[in-house]
Amino acid sequence: MTKSNKRPSSQLVFSTDPEIRRRIMEREEPSTPAVAPEHQVLRIWLERGKGGKEVTLVKGFVGPEDALEEVARWLKNTCATGGSVKEGVIILQGNHRDRVLTLLQERGYKNVKKAGA
């Protein structure tokens, strides 16, 4: 006879207790430590999509998601353009590489370079 490789199920399926739900939610959220701007390594990319539309991408940000969204909001407002944040990348509509480079350097990001084509 062979042994069963099944482990006993220890995962909670459903609970109405708000304390248990709060502890589960806290456990699932991984916290990323904040990194100082001078220690960030950011690269600014330019991509062309359909119809020749250009998009400026800022890659390499390390830190919590809310800090990334705050930097993206600030860049969108100062460049007067639309954009979003997806998978840790700031996306700005249009070619704003030169302006984004100077803005990030003025804000304290020392290791910022243009990359790609």
> Does residue 2 surpass a pLDDT of 90?
no
> Over the stretch 91-103, which tens digit does the pLDDT of each residue have?
999 999 999 999 9
Q: What gap in Å lies between CA 1 and CA 41, rounded to an integer?
A: 57
> Over the stretch 24-65, which tens digit does the pLDDT of each residue have?
767 655 566 778 888 889 999 999 988 989 999 999 999 888
At residue 101, the pLDDT reads 95
CATH number for the domain whose boundaries are 37-114: 3.30.780.10
Mean pLDDT of the chain: 84
At residue 28, the pLDDT reads 59
Q: Is 35 helix (H, G, I), strand (E, B) or coil?
A: coil
Structure tokens belonging to residue 5: 């490789």
Q: Is 10 helix (H, G, I), strand (E, B) or coil?
A: coil
Q: What residues does each domain of the chain span?
A: 37-114
Q: Is the model's pTM score more than 0.75?
A: no
Structure tokens belonging to residue 48: 């062309």
